[in-house]
Structure 1
Amino acid sequence: MNSNVGRSCRFALALLTVSLLWACSSNPAPQTDSPEPSSPEPPPPSSLEPEPTTPSPTAQSPQARAKNAEAKVSLGSISRAQMAYNLEYGKFTQKLDELDLGIKAEHFTLAGLEANQTKAIFTAIPKEPGLNSYAGGVSQLPDASYGSILCESRQPSQAIAPPILERNTWRCAPESQKVE
């Protein structure tokens, strides 16, 4: 078998494995015996400082929101591909083309800022004014699972500070907010 085909197959298998692990790690909805629908419980309070909720994208036009969605989807794919790359090679990569994603962002410039054995940080900076900037991070945790974050500038911007990893927990820089 051609070495590029073998590499692509191994990488696809690693990406599939990470996707399955990510899907299986989500908490399933609680099952109840009562036929009545129950209201969902609020999430537990965070031990981190609360992040202000500035609804920046809602103030933008539908076209800007659609273009911003391109960055969110692209960085989500990069995050999952970084996990798969780490699973296969034991490290993260700064070179996004090594992830073999084939993403061609029309409205954003995608870049890897930093990568090493334990984490990767990447950005999506708009090519035109009026759009938000995005930054993502992914890291391998001590239990061999992964942590990740996607941050959005609070208002349209051509720059964004990278997310911060402290004690195995990601948080967004002060001028950005976490994308849920």
Structure 2
Amino acid sequence: MTTIAFDEQREQRVAGIIEGLKHKPGALLPILHGIQDSEGYVPESSVVMIAAELNLSRAEVHGVISFYHHFRTTPPGRHIVQICAAEACQARGARQLEAYAQERLGVEYHQTTADREITLEKVFCLGNCACGPSVRVDDEIVARVSNERFDQLVNELTTQSLEVK
């Protein structure tokens, strides 16, 4: 029963976002951003709604979602950890940090840990080039992240999650 009520509420929010943005030129991207900002991802059910309102095929909507790495089609973990993969951060060790983070968390990019706590994502520039490698944890940018600092960040996240539960 609760799932049905939640799904209906989500569909109403999504319908409101689509209605509010569908008249803009190039409305698809603003709508996708609005839905992901609201829901944390772009649910499959919203693809059908978007396609109908914008007179697009579902394949066209899926094509845009899959083209841009920013969009998620599954709910993210409680925390989003993004590692900068731009050239400046790569020059300062981001590739090694990427490999370490994936091994430490047991996930690849755009996947979520089994406990649903952390989603790992790759981004291309956090605007912190002189202090790489940089990581964004939720909305906080952290500079000069070593493997040890990454462990500290993950431990802080999991400790916070245990305190909340």
> Which has the larger share of strand?
1
> Which has the larger share of helix?
2
TM-score (norm 2): 0.28
TM-score (norm 1): 0.26
